[in-house]
Each structure stands twice: as structure tokens, then as C-alpha cells.
Structure 1
């Protein structure tokens, strides 16, 4: 994830083209992403979690989990398939109708992304509160979110705990990279649109949104603000 986002920062222009057709086709393509993500990412893992053991066996649930590992491929393939079946509506109609459709599509995409981010964040927060019993083995929020330092002498007591530590580092690195990526794109957009802002305010807002919705949720908020800023700038120029 950090390599992918770093590549995007160094090779993407500071803003998307202002042409309505270009932005409309791009968003019309991404408009199918929520459905593709539900089918290619959530369906296999939810099936493995809720269908076992009443409907499927343990081996079948493991096969679903193995199938789930290729979710980027399935999601991309489903997005391309849905896009080829349903032609982009943003390329039809008058200019005002196109612009309204673009705004609605962007709002839907960012709302879906924010819902996914804040749901997972609060599930994690609530699980730490529910499991809190004051005992030594209780799961606190810092122990669920913060990964163990690699140079510490503590070793995992089981394979499951080791997997948890790995997933904590995986999430922490990906979430931090995503937040840095979104902050960088937001700063580029404000500089291009000649919008002045305070760095301290941006830090406080990012920290606040990270507490409420997690780092990924804060990144979604910044990207949605960037989209609105550039859309308004393109209309005025």
C-alpha cells in the first residue's frame, strides 16, 4: 500500500482534468465499485463466518477464506464487468445534468467509503469495551490497535496472537500511508486552487476525524473535501 500510494503521488497530476466528460467517465466507472466490493470482498468472508458450521463444513469455509485472498482481482474484474454492462449515465444529457450526476456519484462513493471505515473502526472500539472486565486477559483498545514493537522481547503465545500482531502492523502501515496520501493530495489541491489554510487546523481536523472514524475515515473526508474543492474550482475557471 505505501508503494502504491507513493507511486500515485509522484506520477499523478495535482488535480483531475476539468472536462466534464473525463470526470464523468471516471466516476461512472468507480460508481460500480461499491457493488463489486460487496460481492468480491465482503461476500466470501461473511459466507465463511456465518455459514459455518450450519451450512458449510470447516474445509469449505477455509476454501472461501482462500478465495477471499484474491479480492483485489475479483473486485477489479467485477467493476470492469459492471461498467461494460451498464454504460455511464454521466456521458448523456446536458452539461448541467452531467455535472449534477458527477456530484451525486462522488457523494455516493465517498459516503460508501466513509461508512466502511467508520463501521470497522467502531466495531473495534466497541469490541474492546464489551470485552473489558478489568482482568489481565481483557482486550483494551490500545492492545487491539497498537502493534507490538519488533525489538521487544515479548513473543506471541500462540499462532493466533502472532497473526493478530501481523495484522496490526499491516493495518497501521496501510492506514498511515493512506492518511499521508490524502493529506498530500489535499495540500496540492488547496495550493492549485489558491486556497489558504492553516497547517495546525489541518492536523487537528485529521486527528479528530481519526478518533471518530479511524485514519481511513479521516482520509475519506479529506478526499471528499478535495473533490468538492476541485469541482468548484473547475466550474469557476
Structure 2
């Protein structure tokens, strides 16, 4: 059923993307007549007045703050505590694998699963009845069918009572908690690295001060100021 759920999820995602593309195309198509009608009204009202051309410098200055804002909000090749979680969720293999597992569980169609299990149980029951008619109720095949029926029946009852849905919801919650734990662990590691970097800077300054003290003592020794 996981494969069926994944296929359903991909189909829904593809349908949504096609809907977005069609909406954007429809929006562009609707905007074109409005622009032409507005231009016609402007030409009729003032035929001798030409619109002032837009200054390239103005457009460049208008575009520059937006570009600089994007660079400041998400600089390329840098890592900070603010963008750590976003970069992890976009590029960490463990988090992406958990996302796929969550999506496959959430895409399950329980109604379809219910119908499939009911049909399978009916097919197994028909096969068992045929074996009984042929006097093969004690055969190995009959035992295998019985085990399969009991297993599917347990799953069917669990699905009918809502236990399977609740179990899957609990699994999704656990997977999301696992994702949050990975993010929190990465943030804790990031803070620890920052503290180590600060301590390294303090040690470097201490060593530099010690080197200066040693040089001063050596110079005073050479001058005979100290024994």
C-alpha cells in the first residue's frame, strides 16, 4: 500500500503544479487586453502627449535594494543560527528521508485500503470453500489460506475500528519529533562550536600576551635589569 500511497501523492503534486501553471497562464492572458484597452484610452485622451521613458538608472536603483535584501536574508555559502534549520530541512538526507516516509503515510487512502482488504478476504473465503468442496480442508494450501485470512482479518478489523489510522498518526508524530530532535542537536552543536571558537580566540590572546611578556623579560635580561 505504501507504493500506492506514494503514487497517489505524486499524482496530486503533479496535478497541483499543472493547476498553478494554468492559473498563471490565465492571469497573463487576462492582463493583456486590460493593458491594451488602457493604452487606447490614454492615446485617445492625449494623442500629442508621449509618456516619459523610464530611466534605466531608476529601474536599476529600484532593483538593487531588492537584490541586496535577498542577499542579506539568505547569503550564499554562509551558515548562521537563523538559517541553520532551513538549510538542514532542505539538504539533510535524514530529514528528507523522514519527509518522504511521512508523505507516504499521509497519502494512504484508507477507504481504498478497506475495499481492497474486504475483496481479498472474500477471495480467500471463496478459495477455502472450494477446497472444502474438493475435500482438501486439511491440506497445506488450506492452512496457508487460513493464516492469510486471519492476518488480513486482523488488519481489516484494525482499519474498521480506526486503530490503524491512529497508529499511523502516532508514527507521523514520532517521525516529526525525530526531525525536531535532529534540528535541535544540530543547533546545540552549532552553539558548542561557537563557544569553542570564542575560547580559541581567548587562548590566542593569552598566548600573544605571554609571548610579549617573554620578549620583555628577555630584553630586560639582555640589558642587565634582571638576573
Give TM-score scaled by structure 2 length: 0.26
Give TM-score scaled by structure 1 length: 0.25
Structure of higher CA gyration radius: 2
